[in-house]
């Protein structure tokens, strides 16, 4: 149903549909789109001339609706010699596809930030998403032809804050290889909703499109880290260096060693390294930057000697192979004044607190109690 509607709005800017033709496609989807207000019933203005697309006269003309005693008829004004055709209320073109409501729910399903706004020329700016240091803007073009395709690169100056642009069209797609390459040079990629939209969930393959624009292939979890508007503000405020995600399941591998997940990759670290990581995580979760002094670590009995740095090197080495940048010093960051932190967003450090509270090592249990 959605694909049908998208194809129709590409043919005509404000098409109307009859209940009969929509029900013929899918009664379930028709009801669903009505409930979501993507389809809505529209009464024509009083006294206006109403036409139906189906049925048509034998010459192929759309027919005009006239009221008769006891019902409705469709007549051809261009060929009055043709017999009128009796029609039902369900034949009337009374249902409209709301582009605004559709785009609103498309934005919600894909967690796109900012407000929906219109751009001169019949385009819609849908907002943006942030992946790492890249802000990705989204533009929807309902009706696009060859004349419009060549104008797409001109959208770059309207979206100066966006590093990359994804152009969403209804059904048509760019076939010209030279034009595709020209747009890619401007960090613009185009895809049609008919081709790429999941009609059940309204989800788009955004990560795949962005990776393609960046010249990367989809790999391990976290290969394209998505950050919210709030998280982006935190990165600017606290200057976190990484976008890695770590999960602490509280699962013991063997005696004195533990499983953790770094960007979806399972690794094993010893109790002493987990204790240090947990202490950094406790500080990071305070959302004040996450810096921990070696003096505090010594006073809390978590390290033996504040002048020795081998334990930080060991933690970096244990994590390095699974980090996005393979840079342990960047992830376990030092400030040059005997302070260390995990340099990723607090939201990216997750854990099973209940399991950590049952750990055999008392210091791990004590730190787990301090986790929110």
pLDDT of res. 293: 96
pLDDT of res. 157: 81
- How many Cβ atoms sit within 10 Å of the Cβ of residue 150? 12
The percent of the chain in helix, strand and coil, each rounded to the nearest 5, is 35, 25, 35
β-partners of residue 292 are: 340
Residue 99 burial (CB < 10 Å; 0-12/13-18/19+)? Answer: buried
Phi, psi of 309 (to 5 degrees): -120, 15
Helix 271-284 and helix 362-370, axial crossing angle in degrees, nearest 10:
10
Residue owning tokens 């009221």: 67
Per-residue pLDDT 10s for the chain (372 aa) are 999 999 999 988 888 999 999 999 999 999 999 999 999 998 877 767 788 877 778 888 888 888 888 788 888 888 888 888 888 888 888 899 999 999 999 999 999 999 999 988 889 999 999 998 899 999 999 887 655 555 676 777 888 899 999 999 999 888 888 888 888 888 999 999 999 999 999 999 999 999 988 887 665 445 688 999 999 999 999 999 999 999 999 999 888 899 999 999 999 999 999 999 999 999 999 999 999 999 999 999 998 888 889 999 999 999 999 999 999 999 999 999 999 999 999 999 999 999 999 999 999 999 999 999
Whether the CB-CB separation of 368 and 278 falls below 8 Å is answered with yes
pLDDT of res. 150: 55
pLDDT of res. 47: 67
Residue 175 burial (CB < 10 Å; 0-12/13-18/19+)? Answer: exposed
Residue 217 burial (CB < 10 Å; 0-12/13-18/19+)? Answer: exposed
Residue 165 burial (CB < 10 Å; 0-12/13-18/19+)? Answer: buried
pLDDT of res. 147: 52
pLDDT of res. 220: 47
- The C-alpha atoms of residue 76 and residue 162 are separated, in whole angstroms, by 52
Domain ranges of the chain: 2-97, 100-214, 229-370
SS (H, E, C) 55-120: EECCCCCEEEEEEECCEEEEECCCCCCCCCEEECHHHCEEEEECHHHHHHHHHHHCCCECCCEEEC
Whether the CB-CB separation of 235 and 227 falls below 8 Å is answered with yes
Report helix, strand or coil for 271. helix
Core vs surface per residue 180-213: b (16+ CB within 10 A) or e: eeebeeebbbbbbbbebbeeeebebebeebbbeb
Whether the CB-CB separation of 215 and 189 falls below 8 Å is answered with no
**Sheet containing 16-18: order of strands:** 16-18, 93-97, 39-41
pLDDT of res. 41: 93
- The C-alpha atoms of residue 9 and residue 140 are separated, in whole angstroms, by 12
Phi, psi of 331 (to 5 degrees): -80, -50
Residue 271 burial (CB < 10 Å; 0-12/13-18/19+)? Answer: middle
pLDDT of res. 223: 65
pLDDT of res. 242: 96
């Amino acid at each position: 149903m959605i694909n049908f509607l998208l194809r129709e709005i590409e043919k005509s800017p404000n098409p109307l549909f009859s209940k009969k033709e929509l029900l013929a496609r899918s009664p379930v989807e028709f009801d669903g789109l009505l409930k979501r207000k993507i389809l809505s019933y529209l009464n024509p203005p009083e006294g206006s001339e109403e036409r139906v697309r189906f049925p048509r006269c034998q010459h192929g003309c759309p027919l005009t609706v006239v009221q008769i005693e006891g019902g409705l008829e469709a007549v051809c004004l261009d060929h009055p010699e043709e017999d009128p055709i009796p029609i039902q209320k369900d034949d009337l073109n009374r249902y409209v596809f709301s582009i605004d409501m559709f785009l609103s729910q498309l934005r919600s399903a894909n967690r796109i930030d900012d407000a929906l706004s219109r751009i001169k020329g019949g385009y819609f700016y849908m907002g943006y998403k942030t992946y790492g240091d890249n802000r990705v803007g989204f533009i929807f073009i309902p009706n696009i032809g060859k004349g419009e395709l060549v104008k797409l690169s001109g959208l770059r100056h309207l979206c100066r804050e966006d590093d990359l642009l994804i152009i969403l069209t209804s059904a048509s797609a760019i076939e010209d290889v030279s034009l595709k390459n020209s747009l890619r040079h401007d960090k613009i990629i185009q895809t049609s909703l008919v081709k790429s939209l999941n009609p059940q969930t309204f989800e788009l393959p955004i990560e795949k499109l962005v990776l393609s624009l960046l010249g990367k292939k989809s790999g391990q979890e976290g290969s394209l880290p998505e950050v919210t508007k709030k998280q982006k503000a935190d990165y600017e405020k606290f200057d976190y260096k990484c976008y890695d995600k770590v999960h602490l399941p509280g699962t013991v591998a063997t005696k004195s060693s533990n499983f953790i997940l770094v960007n979806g990759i399972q690794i094993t670290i010893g109790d002493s390294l987990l204790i240090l990581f947990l202490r950094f995580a406790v500080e990071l979760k305070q959302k004040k930057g996450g810096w921990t002094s070696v003096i505090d670590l010594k006073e809390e009995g978590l390290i033996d000697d504040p002048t020795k740095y081998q334990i930080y090197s060991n933690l970096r080495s244990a994590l390095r192979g699974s980090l996005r940048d393979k840079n342990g010093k960047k992830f376990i960051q030092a400030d040059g004044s005997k302070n260390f932190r995990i340099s990723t967003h607090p939201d990216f450090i997750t854990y099973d607190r209940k399991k950590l509270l049952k750990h055999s090592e008392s210091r791990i249990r004590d730190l787990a109690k301090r986790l929110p």
